[in-house]
Amino acid sequence: MEYVLLTRILMESNPLDEIKAAIAKYPIDHVFRKKCEMAVAVREERPFDAIRIAVELNGGNAVARFIAEQIERAFQARNSLRDSDRYYILQEFRKNGGKFTMDDQKAIATYLGVPLKNVQARISHLRCYE
């Protein structure tokens, strides 16, 4: 029965609002509620929340916690530029003569999949050594 309910949570045709309302009726520390919350996290594409809940269910095992932290880091947005990103920004810098509009910077950040502030910092760095 439990597996059927968890499978239904993962099905896109079932509304999440109703599922969350039903889950809320269980006590916070109830194992079935945690399993349901984990299934909801998977459906909402929140992998590190699902892993965090799994670690809690596992009793906070140190190895499981370490693995969860490593997976969470893998899913987080990159905070630094790779060499290939720096090279791409340098090529764009040379092509545009060092002049970038905000839209240009946003386009580069989106293309590289990095935060805008990292692109802006790299452009500022290149301007210092121009």
What percent of the chain clears pLDDT 90, i.e. is strictly above it? Answer: 25
Place of tokens 């109830």: 30
**At residue 11, does pLDDT exceed 90?**
no
Q: Identify whether the C-beta of residue 23 lies closer than 8 Å to the C-beta of residue 44.
A: no
Instruction: Please report, for the chain, the start and end positions of each structural domain, with discontinuous segments joined by +.
Output: 2-75, 83-128
Q: Identify whether the C-beta of residue 35 lies closer than 8 Å to the C-beta of residue 2.
A: yes
Place of tokens 């992998």: 47
Other Cβ atoms less than 10 A from the Cβ of 9: the count is: 20
Q: Check residue 77 and give its pLDDT.
A: 56
How far apart CA 74 and CA 91 sit, in angstroms, is 28
